[in-house]
Amino acid sequence: MAKIALAIHGGAGTILKSKMTPDLEREYTGGLEAALKVGWKILEKGGSSLDAVESAVASLEDFPLFNAGRGSVFTHEGKNEMDAAIMDGKTRRAGAVAFVRNVRNPIALARLVMEKTEHVLLAGEGANQFASEMHVPLEPDEYFFTEHRWLQLQDAIATGRVQLDHADAPKFVFSNQQAKGTVGAVACDGKGYLAAATSTGGMTNKKFGRVGDTALIGAGTYADDVCAVSCTGHGEFFMLGVTAYDVAARMKYKKLSLKDAAGETVGRLTEIGGDGGLIAVDAKGNVVLPFNSEGMYRGYIVKGKIVTDIYKG
Amino acid sequence: MAKIALAIHGGAGTILKSKMTPDLEREYTGGLEAALKVGWKILEKGGSSLDAVESAVASLEDFPLFNAGRGSVFTHEGKNEMDAAIMDGKTRRAGAVAFVRNVRNPIALARLVMEKTEHVLLAGEGANQFASEMHVPLEPDEYFFTEHRWLQLQDAIATGRVQLDHADAPKFVFSNQQAKGTVGAVACDGKGYLAAATSTGGMTNKKFGRVGDTALIGAGTYADDVCAVSCTGHGEFFMLGVTAYDVAARMKYKKLSLKDAAGETVGRLTEIGGDGGLIAVDAKGNVVLPFNSEGMYRGYIVKGKIVTDIYKG
Q: How confident is the model at residue A174 (pLDDT cuts 50, 70, 90)?
A: very low
Amino acid at site A135:
H
Greater model confidence, B155 or A224: A224
Contact B211 A121 (CB under 8 A): yes
B158: left (phi over 0), alpha (psi -120 to 50) or beta: alpha
Neighbours of A119 (CB within 10 A): 25
Distances (CA, A) of B76 to A174, B62, B79: 45, 23, 7
- Looking at residue A80, its pLDDT comes to 79
Average pLDDT rounded to a whole number, residues A125-144: 92
The CA angle A37-A38-A39, to the nearest 5 degrees, is: 90
Judging contacts by C-beta atoms under 8 Å, the chain B residues touching residue A214 are none
- Looking at residue B163, its pLDDT comes to 55
Number of domains in chain A: 1
Q: Which of A69-78, A122-131, A165-174, B6-15 has the lowest mean pLDDT?
A: A165-174
For the stretch A46-57, pLDDT in tens is 999 999 999 999
- Looking at residue B157, its pLDDT comes to 65
Residue B117 to residue B93: CA distance in whole angstroms? 11
Please say if the pLDDT value at position A31 is more than 60: yes
- Per the structure, the complete domain to which residue A30 belongs is given by 5-311
Give the pTM: 0.91
Mean pLDDT, chain A, integer: 88
Please say if the pLDDT value at position A177 is more than 50: no
For residue B155, give the 3-state DSSP assignment.
Answer: helix
Average pLDDT rounded to a whole number, residues A95-103: 95
Cβ contacts from A onto B, under 8 A:
137
CATH number of domain containing B155 = 3.60.20.30
The CA angle A284-A286-A288, to the nearest 5 degrees, is: 150
For the CA atoms of A190, A193, A194, A197, what is the dihedral angle to 10 degrees?
-90
Question: Smallest CA–CA separation between B217 and chain A, in Å?
Answer: 7
Contact B211 A98 (CB under 8 A): yes
Residue B36 to residue B5: CA distance in whole angstroms? 10
- Looking at residue B165, its pLDDT comes to 55
**Which residues of A have a CB under 8 Å from any CB of B?**
92-94, 98-99, 117-127, 129-130, 162, 207-211, 216-219, 222, 235-236, 239-240, 242, 245-246, 249-250, 252-254, 272
Contact by Cβ (8 Å): A94, A88: yes
Amino acid at site A257:
S
Residue B151 to residue A303: CA distance in whole angstroms? 61
The alpha helices in B167-256, defined as continuous H runs, are 173-177, 235-240, 243-254
Name which of A120, A239, A254 is nearest B253 (Cβ-Cβ): A254
The alpha helices in B86-144, defined as continuous H runs, are 106-116, 124-134, 141-144
Burial B228-239 (b: 16+ CB within 10 A, else e): bbbbbbbbbbbb
Name which of B92, B121, B239 is nearest A272 (Cβ-Cβ): B92
Residue B12 to residue B166: CA distance in whole angstroms? 7
Beginning with the edge strand found earlier in the chain, give each strand of the sheet holding A210-211 in spatial order: A210-211, B121-123, B93-100, B82-88, B194-200, B183-188, B5-13, B295-302, B305-311
Contact A127 B218 (CB under 8 A): no
- Looking at residue A175, its pLDDT comes to 36
Judging contacts by C-beta atoms under 8 Å, the chain A residues touching residue B123 are 98-99, 123-124, 209, 211
Q: How confident is the model at residue A162 (pLDDT cuts 50, 70, 90)?
A: low
Residue A195 to residue A281: CA distance in whole angstroms? 9
Mutation target vs A (from B117, B120, B133; most A CBs, 10 A cutoff): B120
- Looking at residue A79, its pLDDT comes to 74
Q: Which of A18-27, A48-57, A118-127, B247-256 has the lowest mean pLDDT?
A: A18-27
- Looking at residue A76, its pLDDT comes to 66
Longest dimension (CA), chain B: 55
Please say if the pLDDT value at position A176 is more than 50: no
Please say if the pLDDT value at position A282 is more than 70: yes
Task: Give the residue on B whose Cα is nearest the Cα of A271.
Answer: B92
- Looking at residue B108, its pLDDT comes to 98
Please say if the pLDDT value at position A201 is more than 80: yes
Question: Smallest CA–CA separation between B31 and chain A, in Å?
Answer: 31
Q: What's the DSSP call for residue B69?
A: G
Residue A17 burial by Cβ neighbours in a 10 Å radius (0-12, 13-18, 19+):
exposed
- Looking at residue A156, its pLDDT comes to 65
Q: Which residues contact A213 (CB under 8 A, 6 or more apart)?
A: A219, A220, A231, A235, A236, A238, A239, A243, A244
Contact B123 A123 (CB under 8 A): yes
Residues of A with active-site annotation: 182
Q: What's the DSSP call for residue B122?
A: E
Question: Smallest CA–CA separation between A309 and chain B, in Å?
Answer: 30
For every residue of chain A, which 3-state class applies, written as one string? CCCCEEEEEEEEECCCHHHCCHHHHHHHHHHHHHHHHHHHHHHHCCCCHHHHHHHHHHHHHHCCCCCCHHHCCCCCCCCCCEEEEEEECCCCEEEEEEEECCECCHHHHHHHHHHHCCCCEEEHHHHHHHHHHHCCCECCHHHHCCHHHHHHHHHHHHHCCCECCCCCCCCCHHHHHCCCCCEEEEEECCCCCEEEEEEECCCECCCCCEECCCCCECCCEEECCCEEEEEEECHHHHHHCCHHHHHHHHHHHHCCCHHHHHHHHHHHHHHCCCCEEEEEEECCCCEECCECCCEEEEEEEECCEEEEEEECC
Which ranges of chain B have pLDDT less than 50? 166-179
The CA angle A209-B180-B196, to the nearest 5 degrees, is: 55
Distances (CA, A) of B25 to B3, B49, B66, B149: 30, 28, 13, 18
Distances (CA, A) of B136 to B110, B129, B132: 11, 11, 7
